[in-house]
Amino acid sequence: MITTPFATSICKNFNTKVCHKCFKETVKKQPFQCNSCKEVYFCSTQCQDDANCHPDVECKSLGGIKLHSNKTKLSSDEMSDVRTIVAILSRRDINSDYSKVEKLVCNRPIDKSSERYLTAMAQFIIKITNCDLVVDQIIDLVCSVRCNAFGLWNKKQQCVATALCPEASFFNHSCAPNCSRDSAMSGNKIVVRTIRPVKCGSELCISYVDPQIEFEARRDLLKSAYYFSCRCQRCANPSDKLNEAIKSFFCPRASCNGLLVPEDVNSVSRRCKLCERRCVKDDWLVKADELDIHLK
């Protein structure tokens, strides 16, 4: 599956280094800057002239963030969430896919401390965007972003942007995934592909966390970041053999350990998503069968 994010937000440290439209690195020492908000940068005048990639609402709201950021107690991570929400809300009326955003799972936390800072964040967002949503709706949107948004990474494995892509978010999690979401910087496209043979009728799943980390660490990370307790087949029946089968789908280089993806449907060769090393393993289909056996 190849799809385009509904909205993206460039990370603060890369704001002047990555184009707001195409996500290419800006090679110029002085990239093209939005003349109004001064908060968005482009690699060329062609990207800068695309009005839909930087709507007026987003432009004015980013200016509001800059103006009022010193008056709020929100942390840098929370301000990053604010920028992502602004990117989403500013496209609400110009992108028909917003209805898909509204349907995303939000897994809203119920503790009072979370509600307090989420309320403060929602009030700040309403103030700078002047949107017609109420606090409760904004809180649900913030929680949806935290559960469904993901990072876009460059070749140096640095997260340069946050993206919300409803189609890519419809894939459920498994600690023994049969699909992989490619979040590397490749234009403005998100690719989800199978990483092993999938039987007809089987659910397509991705892993929200690194499948190689230990069971308890995976469980805690999923609980804290995505607000759910994993009950996938691997977590329900953990075993050393299953863990070894999972490792066979990762790059053998000790310094890398990235996920190996098939070069094409019928190929026995796979390529690492991180270092792009090509690995030829005649037994990878056997390993895939072993993994299916251990998951039963």
- Of 112, 68, 103, the closest CA to residue 86 belongs to 68
CATH 2.170.270 domain residues, the chain: 171-295
pLDDT score of 206 = 93
Closest CA to 277 of 294, 295, 255: 255
Query: Distance between CA atoms of 217 and 210, rounded to whole angstroms?
Result: 10
For residue 294, name the pLDDT band (cuts at 50, 70, 90).
Answer: low
Q: How remote is the C-alpha of 134 from its chain's centroid?
A: 26
CA distance 15 to 92: 23
**pLDDT 10s digits, 176-212:** 999 988 766 556 788 888 888 888 998 999 999 989 8
Confidence of residue 4 (pLDDT cuts 50, 70, 90): confident
pLDDT of residue 219: 92
Provide the CATH topology of domain 171-295. Answer: Beta-clip-like (2.170.270)
Mean pLDDT, residues 70-81 taken together: 79
pLDDT higher than threshold 90 for residue 85: yes
Q: What is the pLDDT of residue 292?
A: 65
pLDDT at 60: 92
Say yes or no to pLDDT of 282 above 70. no
- pLDDT, averaged across the chain: 84
- Span 251-269, pLDDT tens digits: 888 778 788 888 776 666 7
pLDDT at 125 (0 to 100): 94
Residue 128, pLDDT > 60, answer yes
pLDDT at 135 over 80: yes
81 pLDDT above the threshold of 70: yes
**Residues 21, 9: Cα–Cα separation, whole Å:** 10
DSSP 1: -
Query: What is the greatest pairwise CA distance in the chain?
Result: 60
pLDDT tops 90 at residue 23: no
Q: What are the DSSP calls for 235-264, one per residue? A: HHS--HHHHHHHHTTB-S-TTT-PBEEESS
Packing angle, helices 135-148 and 215-226, rounded to 10: 150
Asked whether the predicted pLDDT for residue 55 surpasses 80, the reply is: yes
Q: What is the pLDDT of residues 147-174, one digit of tens each?
A: 899 888 877 778 889 999 999 888 999 9
Q: Are 240 and 183 in contact (CB under 8 A)?
A: no
Q: What is the pLDDT of residues 224-233, one digit of tens each?
A: 888 889 999 8
Q: How many CA atoms lie within 13 A of 167 on its CB side?
A: 14
Q: What is the pLDDT of residues 205-224, one digit of tens each?
A: 999 998 989 999 999 999 88
